[in-house]
Structure formats: structure tokens, C-alpha cells
Chain A
Amino acid sequence: MPRKPTTRTRANSSNGANSQAKLPKGLKASDLVDYYTRLVQARSLDERIWMLNRLGKVPIAASSQGHEAAQLGSLLAAEKDGDCFLFPYYRDLALKVAAGLSPVQVMMSFMGKAGDPYSHGRQFPLQGADLPHKIIQISNVVAAGLTQSVGYALACRMAGDETVVLVYFGDGATSQGETHEAMNFASIHKLPVIFICENNRYAISTPQSAQMVVEEVASRAASYGFPGFTVDGMDLIQCYEATREAITHARAQGPVLLEMMVKRFMSHTTDDDDRRYRPEGEVERARERDPVITFARTLIEEGMLTQKMVDEIAAETLRSTDEATDVADVSSPPDASNLHDSVYSP
């Protein structure tokens, strides 16, 4: 594995050639079309959740808009590997949707209905275990997932299996002490962990410049003695490739830090107003690299999709979102009689 940040360019692969030649290792064209569909579905749900908050039906939401390529690219690598376990964080809606959470389940969870698959409406949306999809999110606490994921990786090692753990966090989490503890411990024991930092350069409202003096979070990996890479988190294929390499490395030699440079399109949460601290035009410029648009363009250019198919996917995913919204909207809130179910009570 190379020791300098990956700087994959698409320029040398933009001329001629059939689509097969451009497919990253281990992927079929249908994989990319499938992931594009999941991406659009996630976006559609994400946008709807925000609107439902503005209608008073969703108490709070953290949007993953702008982070989807990083989340889906790494997920695709994990799926192809087949032996990974994921610890996402609160901004990973797209990851969970793409991993198999249904639109109805998503809406139930965000609206706090009895049908919420995680906690039946008791917890923050999407928090909990989704073991069939090998996903667990411990809590909303920033950086809490890192130490837990390292512990899980240690357990996998002790149990003698081949699992690689992917743990996700934002740039703000890198300022937490737990991040150091987790990385140091993982390094000492050479645990199969991939630390995926979705760096959108804002810790809520604190810009990266006010939070660290280094340009790249990935540079910190050197101090723990494991490799760190910065990749373009707006490029799904690049994130896929980097994660696949990282999985191979992690399984054989120990931790890897992958910093995926993403853009946060929305405010921190529905309770935040980023116009108070982001320069005018920043979000608009960021949206020029919206993965929903750029990934579609790439797939059309490479002959895997047509505009007609893109339109159909948009219509189909919107219909799923509409249906899910309506189903969840009229479904029941948790029944008071089972108040004590699904909660920890010693």
C-alpha cells in the first residue's frame, strides 16, 4: 500500500475505451448502477426528512447530503469484501439506507413511531444495532464509536475470525481524547480497524482552521505508526478503491486511517443555521460536485446509464420516499403500555 495520499485522477481514463476497461477492480457495471440507485434513494429520503422536520413531524435530523459518496464508496468495498463490520456515526443516514434499511423503516425511525426498527421510537433516529447488515451505532456521543469499534476488532481477533471493522466519524471527533485512545490501542495491537474520517471541515460551526493546525487529519496516522490517506470523498469510486485497499491492509497488518474529504450541504442539524458561520456561496460551490449529479454523469459517459434511466431512478426512488412517508405518517406512536420495553433498566 502506498504511503502517500492517493491522488487518483480521472483524466487519464476519460477517452474512448469500453466501459469494462474503466471498471474498478472487482466491480461490475451493474454494481455501480445499483449503488447509484441507492445513492439517489438515500438523497431522496434525506431531503424529505428535512422537510418533515420543517412540518413538525421529525424532531431532529442530521443530514448526510454531500457525504454520500464517501459512505457508499466505503460500503461498497465492505460489501464486496463480505467480511466487514461497520460502526457508523450520526451523519451516516446514506450508509444505513444503502446497507439495507428500508425507506419505511427510515421514516418510522425519524418520526419516532412504534415501527422504528431500532428502538421503537425511544432513541434518536437510526441509533442502535442492525446486526443482519453488520452495523451498530452506539450513540450520538462524538467519537464514542471509535473505542467501541477497536474493542470489537480486538474481540474478532481473539475469536480468530477475519472481520475488518470500519468506524466512521467526523473531523470534530478527531479532537476528542477517545480518538487518540482508539488509534493508539489499535496500533499497539495491530487491530483490523479502518478509521474513516468524513472530513467536511466543520465541527458543527467550528471550521477546521480553528480546530487543528494540520491540513490533513490523515497526517496524524504517522504518529501512531500506521498509514493514513486523504481521498476525495465526493468521488464514490475513489472511496471504493481506497477502502478496498485499506481492508486488505487492515486484515494483514493493522489499522489504516482514511480521511475522506466531503462537503456538508446542509446545516449541522435541523436545529442549526449554517448561514451564521459559513461564507456566502460556499454551499453552492460545493454542490457543483454533488455526487448525485457527478456520479450520474460518469455512469452516463461510460455508457452504464442513460438519461432516461436516471430519470426513472429519480421517479422510482421518489415514489418509495412518498410511500414510506405516508405509511410512517399514519402509523402509531409507541404504545404507553410497553414503555419499558427496549430500554435498559437495571
Chain B
Amino acid sequence: MSVTIELPHVGESVVEGTIGKWLKKPGDSVKRYEPLVEIITDKVTMEVPSPVEGSLVRVLAQEGETLPMGAPIAEVATADSPDGAEPSAASIEIEGIEGTEAAPAPPGTIGYLLKNVTPVGPTGGAAIENAEPMERSAPPPARRPAAPAPVTAAAPASTTPQSAAIGSTRLSPAVRRLAQEHSIDVSQIRGSGLGGRITRDDVLKFLESGAAAMPAPAPTRQPEGETSADGLEIHVPLTPIRRMIAEAMVRSVSNIPHAWSAVEVDVTGLVALRASVRAEFEQKEGVPLTYLPFVIKAVVEALKQFPTMNATWGETKIILKNRINLGLAVAAPDGLIVPVLHNADHLSIAGLAVGAKDLADRARTKKLTLADVQDGTFTLNNTGALGSYASGPIINYPQAGIMTTETIQKRAVVIPSESGDAIAIRSMMNICLSFDHRINDGSEASGFMAAVKSRLQTMGPGTSIY
């Protein structure tokens, strides 16, 4: 007979596991309690032994695949059914899995969910079996029918009843983190797990696809909501990305004592520089030349001079980062995202222009990879693009600081000189800095700002951009 091995319920609120490595391959014989497969859960990486002796017929889950506890992962043929010992609770035989030979259907399409894991008890962990097993052919019942569907008219035709409610579907911590790291709106992902659940694989595939095949994303700027009972309020459900941004902001503000500073920079020379090289550059390089790469250059050089601004708070120490990886805040259609220009200090102004443009484009078209959003050491935000004159940015946790560049305005400025003060029309820009006051005091922060300022002010026609 053949026994189906399920991903075991290992308790303590672990609801899914990822296949790490098969320690046996089809055809191998396996002893009872001999390690069969390595499973990675949110808590542990563990070797799962075979509950029976026999030979591995086939594996039903590939390495890297994330499945809910209880999902079938392998079939083991046993010589004989031991008398009286079968069936045991953890190896419920599932018959009639068809099509596994050629192309195994994703478990979710079969629609059986014999067990559920619910946190119970004082430590929140125990496996309980559903009192009444669900019909195998029936789709899983909607958990919360009242949940509003965030995507309606714009939803692709293929949207299943399950995925419509994904905005409120629980994600495992690992999947949630992965989605957060990529600032992905999970409502756009169709889950392949049991009951339409989104697995780690689904997120990775979504990233790889760049979501290019997806129709235009739902217009999140026109939120739909439910009108309150008294008709005076509209309650708009949070999109996943809104929730992620909210969590990130709260984490930063509640952990980091922010201090703020702003200085005025005379960028008249920079404006002239850009004007003088812009047309040629754009023709030659094929990317627009904004002020951003010049500012990045100045910031990166200033970070070199003030390493404690390129650092994190390590509770018992200050951790200085040898690499300068500059995060650039980008307003993507679904919300804020911060891709990272790695080793920004290795690039010329021209290189920075190309790199920043590439990141911004990919952020807007959702083609960022995991590496693109990781390991930032300092963040730059061009709030001036929104017309702002000064802003108090929230640090991109756990970095030491975040700087904004504000609108460039022509202003009448008093220019002191030996022959007497004069009034001139200059291009002025404010730069604002929020910094972690645990790591730096005002003197370092002011020094850093002064360094950025002096570099920007010395740029002018003749400054090389290569």
C-alpha cells in the first residue's frame, strides 16, 4: 500500500512550511523515523522523519515550495500495513490524486483541507482537527463573507472567489515579510496554496514576472469604502501596501528619537551647470538629467566625511556601514517605495543619473528585485518635486538619517561683499535632515549638512559629470 506523507503540524502556531531539501529521492528506501525531508518554518529548520518504512514513490512538493501544514508532500510505498497501527492521525491517506504523474496539480485546486491549525491555549499553539472534514470537491468556504473586495470592476476576469478576498486573507509571517520587503500589494497576487493562500513561491513568481502581464493596477487613489451607519463617515479598508507603510512609519517613529534640521543652499551654479550640459547628456545617454544625481553625489561625499551618518544604532554600539547604499524615495502608483542605489560612492554623476532613472522606472513598473530594495544605508527624498518648501521626513528604519531636497526657487538674496552688501537673484533650495539623535548630535548633523551644502554650492559650469 501507499501512504501519503503530509507536512506535519509541528505546533506552536506554525501554519506553513517550505520544502528545504529532499533527503531521499524517488526510488530510495526509507526507514521509519529516518530523516526524509528538510522543512523550513518561521521558527525552525528541521528534518522531518518518515512516519513509515518503505520506499519513496514520488514527491508531491518541490524544494522551495511553501505549503500549509497538512498538505501532502510525498508518497511512500510500504511493504505491508502493520496490523492495528493504521491509520495513524498524521498520515491520513488521500486517495484519488490524479494527474500527479505528469504535472502535479497545485494542492489548492483539489480543494481538500482536512485539518486546520488554530492557535489555542496559553502558548498559542496546538493542532486541532476540524470536527467535520470538508468535502474534497467543494471549494473552501469563504472565511469571512463580509470582507469587502477591494478589487471589483478592474479585477481581471480570472479572479477567483478566493483571491477577491485576499486583501483580508491572513499571510504567514514569512510571506508577509517577503511582500513587505518588496513593497508588494498582495491583493494582486493569485494564491496557489490551499484555499487560494498566497505562498512564498507565488510572491517570488510575481516578482519575477514584474507583474507585466497584469492589467493596470486597481486605482488605489480612489478608495472605495463602506458608509458608516450614521452616514457621516466612509470606512476605507487598508490596502496591504498602506498597512506596510503605516507599520514602517510607526516602527521608525517609536524606535528612533528624531531630530530635525534644515539649511538653505544656493544652487545657482548647479542650475547653470545642468542647463549647460543637459541637452548633450540626454542625447548621448538617453536619460533625462535631473538635479538628483548632483545631490546624490554631494550626499555621498558628505557621508564619506561623516561616517556616523551612514550608520545604524546597535543598542550597545554604533554600527558604521562601509558601503554607501543610497535609498531613493519613489512615489509609485500604489504608494511609497524606496529602491536602493548600491555603492553610490563608486559612481560618477552620469552613472548616478542612469542608475537612479533605472530604479525609479522599475519602481513605477513594479520590476524591482529583492536586492533593489535591500541594504540601504541612508535615504534621500526629493520632496521638492511635490512643491514642498520644507519637510520633516521620517527616517527609513534603521538608518541614521534621511535628507530631503526641496523646491528650487529664485529669490532675492543679500550677497555680502567687501564693497558693500548687494541684492541678487539666486536659485535657492532648502535641504532638510531628520537624524537619529542617539547616533549623532546637532554638531555632526550640522557638519554633514554644511558638507552637502558646500559641495552643491561649488558645482557650476565646468564641473565634470563623468
Which of A187-195, A232-240, A264-272 is near enough to bind chain B?
A264-272
| CA distance in complex: A60, B122 (Å) | 13
Which of B82-90, B176-184, B217-225 is near enough to bind chain A?
B82-90
Q: Which residue of B lies closest to A53 (CB)?
A: B10
Flag if A326 contacts B85 (CB, 8 Å).
yes
Asked if A151 CB lies within 8 Å of chain B CBs, one says: no
Asked if B9 CB lies within 8 Å of chain A CBs, one says: yes
| Chain B residues near A55 (CB-CB < 8 A) | 8, 48-49, 51, 90
Give the residue of B47, B90, B123 whose beta carbon is less than 8 angstroms from that of A56: B90
Asked if B127 CB lies within 8 Å of chain A CBs, one says: yes
Asked if A213 CB lies within 8 Å of chain B CBs, one says: no
Known: A56-B90, A271-B43. A48 touches B33 (CB 8 A): yes
Flag if A56 contacts B44 (CB, 8 Å).
no
Known: A56-B69, A329-B85, A330-B84. A271 touches B45 (CB 8 A): no
Asked if B93 CB lies within 8 Å of chain A CBs, one says: no
Asked if A273 CB lies within 8 Å of chain B CBs, one says: yes
Flag if B88 contacts A59 (CB, 8 Å).
no
Asked if A54 CB lies within 8 Å of chain B CBs, one says: yes
Query: Within the complex, what minimum Cβ distance (angstroms) separates A121 from chain B?
Result: 11
Residue among A51, A54, A57 with the most chain B CB within 10 A? A54
| CA distance in complex: A327, B448 (Å) | 71
| Chain B residues near A58 (CB-CB < 8 A) | 11
Known: A48-B33, A55-B49. A273 touches B85 (CB 8 A): no
| CA distance in complex: A267, B10 (Å) | 15
Query: Within the complex, what minimum Cβ distance (angstroms) separates B67 from chain A?
Result: 13
Known: A59-B127, A326-B85, A330-B84. A54 touches B10 (CB 8 A): yes
Flag if B11 contacts A271 (CB, 8 Å).
yes
Asked if A275 CB lies within 8 Å of chain B CBs, one says: yes
Residue among A51, A55, A267 with the most chain B CB within 10 A? A55
Flag if A51 contacts B90 (CB, 8 Å).
no
Residue among A57, A275, A330 with the most chain B CB within 10 A? A57
The total of chain A residues at the interface (CB under 8 A) is 19
Flag if A56 contacts B10 (CB, 8 Å).
yes
A198-213 to B contact mask, C-beta < 8 Å, 1/0? 0000000000000000
Query: Within the complex, what minimum Cβ distance (angstroms) separates A335 from chain B?
Result: 15
Q: Which residue of A lies closest to B91 (CB)?
A: A55
Known: A59-B12, A60-B11. A271 touches B127 (CB 8 A): no
Known: A55-B51, A326-B85, A329-B85. A60 touches B44 (CB 8 A): no
Flag if B127 contacts A56 (CB, 8 Å).
yes
| Chain A residues near B47 (CB-CB < 8 A) | 54
| CA distance in complex: A326, B52 (Å) | 12
| CA distance in complex: A56, B89 (Å) | 9
| Chain A residues near B89 (CB-CB < 8 A) | 57, 329
Considering only residues 289-346 of chain A, those with a C-beta below 8 Å from chain B are: 326, 329-330
Q: Which residue of B lies closest to A48 (CB)?
A: B33
| Chain A residues near B88 (CB-CB < 8 A) | 329-330
B10-48 to A contact mask, C-beta < 8 Å, 1/0? 111000000000000000000001000001000111111
20 contacts between A and B (CB under 8 A): A54-B39, A54-B48, A54-B49, A55-B8, A55-B48, A55-B49, A56-B8, A56-B10, A56-B90, A57-B8, A57-B89, A59-B125, A60-B123, A60-B125, A270-B44, A271-B10, A272-B43, A272-B44, A273-B43, A330-B85
Given A55-B51, A59-B11, 12 additional A-B pairs, CB 8 A: A54-B46, A54-B49, A56-B10, A57-B8, A58-B11, A59-B127, A60-B125, A267-B44, A270-B44, A271-B44, A272-B44, A326-B85
By a beta-carbon cutoff of 8 Å, the part of chain A in contact with chain B is 48, 51, 53-60, 267, 270-273, 275, 326, 329-330
Q: Which 5 A-B pairs have the closest CB atoms?
A: A56-B8, A59-B11, A56-B9, A273-B44, A271-B12
